[in-house]
A and B are shown apart, each in its own frame.
Chain A
Amino acid sequence: MEFKVSLGPQHPALHEALSLRMTLEGEIIRDADLKLGYSHRGIEKLAEERTFTQNIYLTERICGICSHSHTTCFVQGVEQLMELIPARRGLYIRTLIAELERVHSHLLWLGVAGQEAGFESFFMYTWRDREVVMDILDWITGNRVHYAMNTFGGVRRDIDELQKKKILDSLDLLTKRTEYYLSIGANEPTFVNRLAGVGKLSREDAIALCAVGPTLRASGVPMDVRKDDPYAVYNEIPFEVCTADSCDVLGRTVVRVKELIQSYKMIEFLLKNLPDGPFKVKAPRKVKPNEVYSRYEAPRGENVHYIKSNGSDKPERLKVRAPTLANYPATIKMLKNGFIADIPLIFAAIDPCICCAERLVQLDNPGSGESKVLSFSQLRTMANDHYKKVNLMKKEAVWPF
């Protein structure tokens, strides 16, 4: 018997609002569809009304986990528009924060994966260790989540010797713990059985469906903006692009844990080779008319900002493509023919940040091609009229059983 179930917009597996419509046959998913648009965000429009400097702190609020990713992506784009060369020390610190953020994001994801797989102990352990990174970030930037570290031409705060030493000390602890998680991920039988072979995405599908980040790399495609199109100081740091060939959730876990270990090495390198000199240079207020496409490898995958300037101190247009949006088509592919029990795992494996990917969408009438604008009071009347027609008791509703 086939029946349709919708997961969300409110569901314990989803931390944000999103609706998954599935056709089930017993425990197996035959068809899946996603419905977006439950969160209302107006960040792109808001950005057009603020100055470039104000926009740094606005783009930071696109995401609560990869906040530094969005500002760096934005700042790099605007610096290109300004033809400004940032301070070298500033770039090093910017990269350092970026890698620390990757560490905290991946540790968070590991915990979420544990929780979705019903492995609560793993969740508790990884989140305990995440606190170490959060404390470092708090100590060098003053904030745990929105670091407010970037500015045009460099960063806003410097790092001193004491902070360097503390970060290096904490890294030893984190490296040891991460190696332990790698051994759990590879050896704990219930966990491995739960993740292996789940959410298969072949190499060809991953490329065809434009997957990004660890989802893509777990399908054996060594694609990483940091290597392919280096920004900041990534062309000076030695690191490897981590991939896995298993094309499943286990592969995505392994890629993330390996990336953690790479990040620790990069942080150590950055701290030991931190150049002297100023950490920021002065930036102009106004920007010449031009447009730029800025790429950045966020913890979740490639993050893209398109910025257009018109000669004033405000952008003409800002377009943000968060990595989660790029991974949705691949997710639908992965969900098909899987078990119900695997939905949360497959979905969590792309590390979804649903609100980051939500944009205001304007739908035109498909027939006439017209679009119309409704005022708030008109919307209110529409909603009230709609609910007068709906019988909330649903006495006559047909129950499928």
Chain B
Amino acid sequence: MAILKPILYILVYPGLIFLMVYSTFCEWFDRKLYARMQNRIGPLHTGRSGILQPVADIIKLFAKEDIVPEKADKHMFSALPVFALAIICTTALYLPLWHYSEAPTFISFPGDLIVVAYLLTLPTLIYFLAGWHSNNYFSAIGGVRVLTMLFGYEIPLLLALLSPAVLADSWRILEIARFFQDKPLLMLVNLIGFFIAVIALQAKLERVPFDIPHAETEIVGGQLTEYSGKKLAFFRLLGDIEMVVGAGLIAAVFMGGFPGGLLPGLAWFVLKTLFIIFLLAAMRAATSRIRIDQMINFSWRWLAPLAVLQLFIVIIIKGMVS
């Protein structure tokens, strides 16, 4: 039985199967919200209110012709989407969704917050490599923009994640979540950090106003211009799962995690991630794409100083509480 749980954990919940199903649901939720905010109807025909539309899109992509450009680096070009998906699914395991034990396990140990932050950076690197190895002007420009943007949002995101960790005096996501479950009022201290993390997550997911790397009116598909068929489907799935994992991480660190074991935990997870996805969709509907230099300016002029300010507030509050 001891071996069964990790296997279940990796394959079913919250591993592969759950992630695939829930991420497609989240994409539908996001698309529907975005459409309603724009006075459109959104997905409608596949499944009830179009709920199966993301699945249909992915199935369609899998059926399409898979083209590898002649000048592209064939091995890297084919391997990157698989790597990216594997990395992001691994990251999902570290979310404290189904942990009972206090003792450190292979998916929850002191310092796993840093591991998750690190693993969440890797897909960005893979986007860059995908753009670079496609050997196409538009891909190369997109890839460089991905990397440039990383320098903008990564530090504010890390600083924002740092402040709850400092407040809870732990680097273990499970313990941070438990700390806020015990003292829910202290969540309000991290309000600035929460919004910084949501904005940085939006940038990480490359959505409006930060969809600069694949701005279709400028550089066509950006880093994914040359990708098609199965490989593009992998990247799309990657984007969806990244959204779920990012939202889950923010929910776990800032919003008190998902208490109550299997089913109540799942309910909390769905509720909290959907709330964050709602914020992301609203941000997407209310803004216009900015330029890459404006994005870097914005992160260093506003996000990073605000994250430092948040850290100061946390240190002062911590001194007062203890």
Give the interface of A toward B (CB within 8 A): 3, 5, 11-13, 27, 114-122, 124-125, 128, 188, 190-191, 193-194, 339-344, 399, 401
The docked-state distance in angstroms from the alpha carbon of A13 to that of B141 is 16
* Residue B196 at the chain A interface, CB threshold 8 Å: no
Task: List, sorted by A's number, 10 A–B pairs whose CB atoms are closer than 8 Å.
Answer: A114-B288, A115-B217, A119-B289, A124-B40, A128-B39, A191-B288, A194-B288, A339-B291, A344-B217, A399-B135
Q: Is the CB of A193 within 8 A of B220?
A: no
Q: Is the CB of B294 within 8 A of A193?
A: yes
Q: C-beta contact mask, B290-311 vs A, less than 8 Å → 1, else 0?
A: 1111100000000000000000
- Shortest beta-carbon distance from B143 to chain A in Å: 11
The docked-state distance in angstroms from the alpha carbon of A399 to that of B141 is 15
Q: Report if A121-B38 is in contact (Cβ < 8 Å); known contacts: A190-B209, A194-B289, A341-B291.
A: yes
The docked-state distance in angstroms from the alpha carbon of A13 to that of B290 is 16
Q: Report if A118-B220 is in contact (Cβ < 8 Å); known contacts: A125-B38, A128-B39.
A: no
Q: Is the CB of B287 within 8 A of A190?
A: yes
Using CB atoms, name the residue of chain B closest to A192.
B288
Chain B residues near A339: list those with CB within 8 A. 291, 293
* Residue B218 at the chain A interface, CB threshold 8 Å: yes
5 closest cross-chain pairs (CB), A and B: A118-B289, A119-B288, A124-B38, A13-B217, A344-B217
Chain A residues near B71: list those with CB within 8 A. 399
Chain A residues near B208: list those with CB within 8 A. 118-120
- Shortest beta-carbon distance from A306 to chain B in Å: 36
The docked-state distance in angstroms from the alpha carbon of A75 to that of B286 is 45
Q: Is the CB of A118 within 8 A of B209?
A: yes
Using CB atoms, name the residue of chain A closest to B288.
A119
Q: Is the CB of A27 within 8 A of B217?
A: no
Q: Is the CB of A5 within 8 A of B294?
A: no
Chain B residues near A191: list those with CB within 8 A. 287-288
Q: Is the CB of B292 within 8 A of A125?
A: no
Q: C-beta contact mask, B196-226 vs A, less than 8 Å → 1, else 0?
A: 0000000000001101100111111000000
Chain A residues near B286: list those with CB within 8 A. 121, 188
Q: Is the CB of A190 within 8 A of B218?
A: no
Chain A residues near B137: list those with CB within 8 A. 3, 5
The docked-state distance in angstroms from the alpha carbon of A188 to that of B37 is 16
Q: Is the CB of B39 within 8 A of A125?
A: yes
Q: Report if A118-B219 is in contact (Cβ < 8 Å); known contacts: A125-B38, A188-B288, A341-B291.
A: no
- Shortest beta-carbon distance from A111 to chain B in Å: 12
How many residues of chain B are within 8 Å of chain A by beta carbon?
A: 29
Chain B residues near A5: list those with CB within 8 A. 137
Chain B residues near A119: list those with CB within 8 A. 208, 287-289
Q: Is the CB of B290 within 8 A of A194?
A: yes
* Residue B126 at the chain A interface, CB threshold 8 Å: no
Q: Is the CB of B289 within 8 A of A124?
A: no
Residue from the set B37, B212, B294 with the largest chain A CB neighbour count within 10 Å: B294
Cross-chain contact of B218 among A122, A343, A401 (Cβ < 8 A)? A343
Q: Is the CB of B220 within 8 A of A11?
A: yes
Chain A residues near B135: list those with CB within 8 A. 399, 401
Using CB atoms, name the residue of chain A closest to B141.
A340
Chain B residues near A193: list those with CB within 8 A. 290, 294
Q: Is the CB of A122 within 8 A of B39?
A: no
* Residue B140 at the chain A interface, CB threshold 8 Å: yes
- Shortest beta-carbon distance from B18 to chain A in Å: 31
The docked-state distance in angstroms from the alpha carbon of A399 to that of B134 is 12
Using CB atoms, name the residue of chain A closest to B220.
A12
Chain A residues near B38: list those with CB within 8 A. 120-121, 124-125
Q: Which of B55-104 contact A (CB under 8 A)?
A: 71
* Residue B107 at the chain A interface, CB threshold 8 Å: no
The docked-state distance in angstroms from the alpha carbon of A399 to that of B135 is 9
Chain A residues near B289: list those with CB within 8 A. 117-119, 190, 194
Residue from the set A11, A114, A188, A342 with the largest chain B CB neighbour count within 10 Å: A11
* Residue B285 at the chain A interface, CB threshold 8 Å: yes
Q: Is the CB of A401 within 8 A of B140?
A: yes
Q: Is the CB of A13 within 8 A of B218?
A: yes
Q: Is the CB of B292 within 8 A of A27?
A: yes
- Known: A13-B216, A401-B140; 11 extra A-B contacts, CB below 8 A, are A3-B137, A115-B217, A118-B288, A120-B285, A121-B38, A121-B285, A122-B288, A124-B38, A125-B38, A339-B293, A401-B135
- Shortest beta-carbon distance from B99 to chain A in Å: 40
Residue from the set B39, B285, B291 with the largest chain A CB neighbour count within 10 Å: B291
Residue from the set A114, A118, A120, A128 with the largest chain B CB neighbour count within 10 Å: A118
Using CB atoms, name the residue of chain A closest to B145.
A27
Using CB atoms, name the residue of chain A closest to B71.
A399
The docked-state distance in angstroms from the alpha carbon of A347 to that of B294 is 21
Using CB atoms, name the residue of chain A closest to B212.
A341
Q: Report if A12-B288 is in contact (Cβ < 8 Å); known contacts: A124-B39, A124-B40.
A: no
